[in-house]
A and B are shown apart, each in its own frame.
Chain A
């Protein structure tokens, strides 16, 4: 695969540019209160989108599978125990179990 290194380089460059753009352009100034309020809501919006696109979709198709059930169970574990590690372990274990049975 001769293009592997071009892929690595291309992904590294675009990632560094995207991560660096905001701090490069916007640092060192105070942002207005309304802007900070929006930022505080960015986390739940983006995190929910990441969860939804990985637990309720497969690629570009909406899909429910063993992993959907596993992630839901992980959410319950997180809610009850507040343990990120147990949440992730429960999600993977239940998903694996359902696949082994199914």
Chain B
């Protein structure tokens, strides 16, 4: 389950067109399992934090079910917890999610059907699934994406439920290093991505842009702005 799942999906399974959509969905589920485990722990900490700021249990669980975007959910409750306004919290969530705009644009040509059907399929984008479903030629394996997201959706919901129920027992979950899970999760994906000097260079530039902007702009903007580093693609064809 744990070994560079994308490359199992995208490279070793070379005769991919011969695989049925069902097989690719299942490959996505398998690849998504480690991320689902990490995501479950993360959503557990979300449930605990949201209880601490006084959100009703049911609202917390529904939020994970219908928002299903970790960084946005954390950003929104952090602002409410600090006494910020509802509008500011929703704007922060939107900014944290702005990277999904770029990911959605990349994914769009790989989705069949009319505009509404494509927009519905686009809801399946989460960072890890998106990165793993990207093929060498720049297209996406959408069934793999759906499978990887499906298993992460289930664990996200269950983790939130556990956090809401157990929150008062656990206290400060950062004692358990829970706040290291989220960045470690993305670092694991990044190491899978960084396959040549160009990709490493783009990652370093992207990280530097984000760090420089972090004290200067609202949360979320530094991450979106880091996508400028991808303009390196104009000089060289793709990181793979």
Say yes or no for B168: interface residue by CB 8 A criterion. no
The 0/1 profile, CB within 8 Å of A marked 1, for residues 184-201 of chain B is 111111111110001110
Query: Bound state CA distance, A26 and B121, in angstroms?
Result: 13
Q: Given B77, B113, B183, which contacts A55 in the complex, CB threshold below 8 Å?
A: B183
A-B contact count (CB 8 A): 356
Residues of A within 8 A of B202 (CB): 41, 44-45, 48
Hey, which chain A residues are within 8 Å of B182, CB to CB? 50, 54
Known A23-B118, A74-B180, A92-B180; contact A47-B89, beta-carbon cutoff 8 A: no
Do the beta carbons of B86 and A7 come within 8 Å of each other? Answer: yes
Q: Is B119 an interface residue (CB 8 A)?
A: yes
Q: How far is the CA of A19 from the CA of B101 in the complex (A)?
A: 6
Smallest CB–CB gap between A27 and chain B, Å?
Answer: 4
Chain A contact surface mostly: helix
Give the number of residues in A that approach B within 8 Å (Cβ atoms). Answer: 81
Q: Does B240 contact A (CB under 8 A)?
A: yes
Q: Given the complex of chains A and B, what is the CA–CA distance between A3 and B23 in angstroms?
A: 43
In Å, the complex CA distance between A91 and B178 comes to 9
Asked if A46 is an interface residue, CB under 8 A from chain B, the answer is yes
Residue B80 at the A interface, CB < 8 A?
yes
A52–B72 alpha-carbon span in the complex (Å): 17
In angstroms, how far is the closest chain B Cβ from the Cβ of A28? Answer: 8
Contacts of B222 in A (CB 8 A): 49, 53
Q: Is B162 an interface residue (CB 8 A)?
A: no
Task: Indicate if A101 sits at the interface (CB-CB under 8 A).
Answer: no
Q: A27-B108, A47-B186 are in contact. List 14 more A-B contacts (CB 8 A).
A: A10-B86, A11-B73, A15-B67, A19-B104, A23-B108, A27-B109, A27-B112, A67-B179, A71-B184, A87-B184, A87-B187, A88-B37, A92-B41, A92-B181
User: A residues touching B (Cβ–Cβ < 8 Å)?
Assistant: 1, 3-8, 10-12, 14-16, 18-31, 33-34, 36-57, 59-62, 66-67, 70-71, 74-75, 78-79, 81-88, 90-97, 99-100
Can you give 8 contacting A-B residue pairs, CB < 8 Å? A7-B90, A11-B63, A28-B109, A36-B137, A39-B105, A45-B230, A48-B226, A50-B182
